[in-house]
């Protein structure tokens, strides 16, 4: 297994249905001529406590695939936004009951942010109704907010557009 | 030119705020607010770690984020006095978050485009978190200020109590973004929110000086474990 393939299997410790590649926090995996692997990751939020676990999980995945000689670097620019989440990642979040964030930049994650932030209705992950309301701007992890469906009455997590 | 003191000021503001807001976990008026304040504390702590690490590297004396957070005494902290003020009720927490985030947002916005690449990368992330903090404190200020007589009175008392410490936000020289330049955008944001919340903007007075007993007490608690067990890690 190549180093990239090994690292791409690492799942996010808090959103265990998506990999770090799908979440867009894996920026680069490079192997030099000596076989040394350099993995570059970026945090979602600056204080995200999952980063230590992610670093450890990357190390374990690389060692299991025979790439013991490696290091993991953290970069902050360009800053992560929810636009880095892949279409596959969005589909998996939705399937797991976490409403994926609306895109904020149609032209891709590194395009300039639009001048006016639009709020698009968050659909209920249980019944699909757009008749939902925000219960709390903060949720069980730094990247989520708590919502409730007015149609079916069920609460659900939604990833904040960020 | 970015100096050690400039980066320590930013890092210490964030660290002391994280310590204060973290203390509200399980003490907020509702469970959602416990979660909110813990999340905001975590954002501030995340920024503090990056900033103190950078300050340690600029200093070049081998001090890392933990050495700077846990082994300096109050006299060596560079944070503004606003952030160390105690929070006897939830209104004071919201007032402090409003006054601080209305400063941190334009600060990080400007730093994200200023000459220091390291600060620009940190600020590029922190600005989005500050925008969320400002939204959150604005919503609560409106709700409490324009709420019942009791909530209005307590929100006004919270603003009045913290107001004397606001000049310290803009004190300090140097750095890629001058703190003094942030006074105009800060005033405009804060006056707009207070006005909509039917609250009165207090008159500006000279900032109190003298002994910083609140900071001394806060640090005694925050540093206790590290001082008892030097080098302790998770």
Q: In 3D, which of B128, B234, B47 has the Cα closest to residue A52?
A: B234
Q: In chain B, which residues have their Cβ closer than 8 Å to the Cβ of A75?
A: 121
Model-level ipTM above the cut of 0.90: no
Residue A99, beta-bridge partner list:
A158
User: B25 in helix, strand or coil?
Assistant: coil
Cβ A160 vs Cβ A143: under 8 Å: yes
Interface test with A, best of B34, B111, B125 (most A CBs within 10 A): B125
The answer to whether the Cβ–Cβ distance between B35 and A78 falls below 8 Å is no
Q: 3-class DSSP state for residue A136?
A: strand
Identify which of B91, B95, B102, B87 has the alpha carbon closest to the alpha carbon of residue B22: B87
Mean pLDDT over A45-56 rounds to: 89
Question: Which tens digit of pLDDT belongs to each residue from A1-17?
Answer: 899 999 999 999 988 99
How do residues B182-210 score in pLDDT, each as one tens digit?
A: 999 999 999 999 999 999 999 989 999 99
Q: For residues B43 and B126, what is the distance between their CA atoms, to the nearest angstrom?
A: 8
Which residues, at least 6 apart from B217, have a Cβ–Cβ distance to it below 8 Å? none
- Answer whether A12's CB lies under 8 Å from A19's CB: yes
Q: Phi, psi at residue A157, to the nearest 5°?
A: -85, 145
Cα–Cα distance between B70 and B47 in angstroms, integer? Answer: 16
Q: In Å, how far are A109, A120, B83, B122 from A160, measured between CA atoms?
A: 15, 12, 27, 20
The span from the CA of B182 to the CA of B20, in Å, is 24
Q: Which pLDDT does position B99 carry in this prediction? A: 98
> Mutation test of the interface with chain A: which of B25, B39, B41, B108, choosing the one with the most A Cβ atoms within 10 A?
B39
**CB neighbour class for B67 (10 Å; exposed up to 12, middle 13-18, buried from 19):** middle
From B46, B122, B139, residue closest to A47, measured CB to CB: B46
- What's the rounded Cα separation, in Å, for the pair B113 and B106? 11
Task: Using CA coordinates, name the residue in chain A closest to B31.
Answer: A136
What is the predicted pLDDT for the residue at A1? 87
- Characterize A134-145 residue by residue with b for buried, 16 or more Cβ atoms within 10 angstroms of its Cβ, and e for exposed: eebbbbebbbbb
Q: What is the chain A residue with the closest CA to B51?
A: A46
Rounded Cα distance, B83 and A136, in Å: 25
Instruction: Enumerate the residues of chain A whose CB falls inside 8 A of the CB of residue B125.
Output: 43, 45-46, 76, 79-80
3-state secondary structure of A135: strand
Cα torsion angle, B103, B104, B109, B115, sign: positive
B71-98 average pLDDT score: 97
Taking CA atoms, A27 is separated from A40, A65, A72, in Å, by 5, 20, 11
Q: Could you tell me the pLDDT band of residue A142, with boundaries at 50, 70 and 90? A: confident
Residue A104, pLDDT > 90, answer no
Mean pLDDT for chain B? 95
Q: Does B125 contact A142 at a Cβ distance shorter than 8 Å?
A: no
For residue B95, which phi and psi values (nearest 5 degrees)?
-60, -45
B128 touches chain A (CB under 8 A): yes
Chain centroid, CA A88 distance in Å: 11
């Amino acid at each position: 297994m190549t180093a990239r393939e090994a690292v791409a299997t690492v799942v996010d410790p808090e959103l265990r249905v998506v990999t770090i590649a799908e979440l867009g926090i894996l920026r680069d995996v490079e192997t030099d001529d000596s076989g040394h692997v350099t993995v570059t990751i970026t945090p979602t939020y600056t204080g995200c406590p999952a980063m230590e676990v992610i670093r450890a999980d990357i190390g374990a995945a690389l060692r299991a695939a025979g790439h013991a000689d490696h290091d993991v670097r953290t970069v902050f620019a360009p800053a992560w936004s929810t636009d880095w989440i892949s279409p596959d990642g969005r589909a998996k979040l939705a399937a797991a009951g976490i409403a994926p964030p609306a895109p904020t930049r149609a032209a891709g994650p590194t395009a300039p942010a639009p001048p006016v932030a639009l709020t698009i209705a968050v659909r209920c992950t249980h019944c699909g109704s757009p008749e939902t309301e925000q219960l709390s701007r903060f949720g069980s992890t730094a990247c989520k907010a708590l919502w409730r469906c007015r149609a079916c009455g069920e609460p659900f997590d939604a990833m904040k557009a960020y | 030119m970015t100096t050690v003191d400039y980066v320590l000021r930013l890092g210490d503001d964030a660290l002391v705020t994280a310590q204060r807001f973290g203390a509200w976990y399980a003490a907020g008026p509702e469970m959602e607010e416990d979660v909110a304040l813990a999340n905001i504390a975590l954002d501030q702590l995340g920024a503090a770690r990056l900033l103190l690490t950078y300050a340690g590297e600029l200093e070049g004396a081998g001090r890392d984020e933990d050495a700077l957070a846990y082994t300096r005494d109050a006299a060596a902290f560079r944070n503004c006095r606003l952030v160390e003020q105690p929070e006897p009720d939830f209104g004071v927490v919201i007032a402090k978050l409003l006054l601080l985030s209305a400063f941190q947002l334009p600060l990080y916005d400007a730093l994200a485009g200023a000459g220091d690449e390291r600060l620009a990368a940190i600020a590029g992330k922190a600005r989005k978190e500050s925008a969320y903090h400002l939204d959150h404190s604005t919503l609560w200020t409106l709700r409490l200020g324009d709420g019942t007589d009791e909530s209005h009175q307590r929100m006004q008392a919270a603003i009045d109590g913290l107001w004397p410490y606001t000049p310290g936000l803009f004190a300090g020289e140097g750095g890629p973004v001058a703190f003094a330049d942030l006074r105009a955008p800060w005033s405009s944001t804060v006056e707009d929110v207070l006005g909509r919340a039917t609250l009165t903007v207090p008159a500006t007075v000279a900032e109190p000086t003298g002994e910083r007993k609140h900071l001394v007490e806060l640090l005694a608690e925050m540093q206790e474990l590290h001082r008892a067990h030097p080098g302790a890690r998770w």
